[in-house]
Amino acid sequence: MISTPADPLPSWNDRPTKQGILAFVARVTDETSPDFLPVAERIAVHDNDGTLWPENPMPFQAAFAIDELNRRILTEPELASDPMVQAALAGELAVLLEGEHFDGLMRVLALTHAGMTTDEFRDAVEEWLKSAKHPRFGRPYDALTYQPMQELLRHLRANGFKNFIVSGGGADFMRVWVERVYGIRPEQVVGSAARTEFELREEGPVLTKTLDHLFVNDKEGKPVAIHQSIGRRPIICCGNSDGDHAMLQYTTINNPRPSLGLIVHHTDSEREYAYDCETKSTGRLVQALREAPKRGWIVVDMKQDWNAMFRTE
């Protein structure tokens, strides 16, 4: 009797999407395959907001920033004179998201993400995660990762892949919880960041967060950051928006190695959200979706492809 290995992706329905993922992983990891790749070359990059966890009604890091402003304004009322703080506290997300790089959002992030040490920032994020709850699902934000993507991360890891998060989110924000939540080590997180400043204080060395040389890890910035941080082209890229378009191209177009592009398409307004060309948050998806058939990128239809939504274990 031949024992059948357990299904590594039980939350994925048996459709071409799932078959395509499993076939690709088998193709590059089977030693008898002509497309076999050594472990060191099995690099997978994953967007975070909208790909591994939701980005509605706003990116979770923006929720953190607004909660922080609400907390701090009690003791620092002068913050209220900033029009972007006003917009944030009034929930006028559209104002914050104006401009090519969400300048208002960045301003608010700046106020809540700089001027403290990296340890102080980490403590603030940890404190927030303990109590904050998603407005629609009523659960802690870090309990809302997508179960099917968790299974994909695990399947890739079990097959010798190194998973990297390549997200517009702040590296310091993500590193607080990614290891616990995704099993991804801090050194495998590539995110937006500004330079810190090193100082040897009485109590020891500290790094203070500044806004200098802010790097926004989005769009064309993503392949740039992949090159800078990873130093080789990935062979798997998972994203969900036009912010991931450039890294999908970088991963798959004329890559001398076999490669896989995957787009999570939000089609399930009942269990999660449905959006692509129009969105009230980040995550606009038009160009990458249009290019997907030509490039052979797998498009995940959340409603059809996933039989579970959020992490269950």
Judged by the rule CB under 8 A, the positions of this chain that interact with a second copy are 40, 43, 118, 162, 164, 171-172, 175, 179, 185-189, 193, 195-198, 200, 203-205, 207, 213, 215, 220-221, 223-224, 227-232, 246, 249-250, 253-255
Tokens linked to 157? 């890891």
Longest dimension (CA), the chain: 73
Closest contact distance (angstroms) between CB of 216 and a second copy is: 12
Spatial separation of the C-alpha atoms in residues 172 and 269, rounded to whole Å: 31
Least distance between a second copy and beta carbon 163 (Å)? 12
- Smallest gap, in angstroms, from Cβ of residue 41 to a second copy? 10
CA count, 13 A, side-chain hemisphere, 194: 19
Strand-pair partners of 215: 193
What is the spatial distance between Cα 51 and Cα 70, in angstroms, rounded to a whole number? 28
- Do residues 200 and 151 touch, judged by C-beta distance below 8 A? no
User: Does residue 61 contact residue 109 with C-beta atoms inside 8 Å?
Assistant: yes
Nearer to a second copy, 58 or 246 (CB): 246
Expressed in angstroms, the distance from the first to the final Cα of the chain is 31
Question: Is-cis flag, bond preceding 57, omega within 30?
Answer: yes
In the complex, minimum distance from the CB of residue 195 to a second copy, in angstroms, rounded to a whole number: 6
Least spacing, CB of residue 106 vs a second copy, in Å: 17
Closest CB 241 distance from a second copy, rounded Å: 17
Q: Are 143 and 52 in contact (CB under 8 A)?
A: no
d(CA 141, CA 125): 11
Q: What single DSSP character describes residue 251?
A: H
- Report in angstroms the alpha-carbon separations of 165 from 90, 144, 179, 290: 31, 16, 11, 24
CB of 39 to a second copy, least distance (A): 10
Closer of 29 and 249 to a second copy (Cβ): 249
Closer residue to a second copy (CB): 5 or 204 = 204
Bridge partners, residue 36, by sequence: none
Give 308's contacts (C-beta < 8 A, 6+ positions apart): 11, 147, 148
At 123, which helix (H) or strand (E)?
Answer: helix 118-131
Token pair 């959006």 in the structure block, residue: 275
Minimum distance between the CB of residue 234 and a second copy, rounded to whole angstroms? Answer: 11
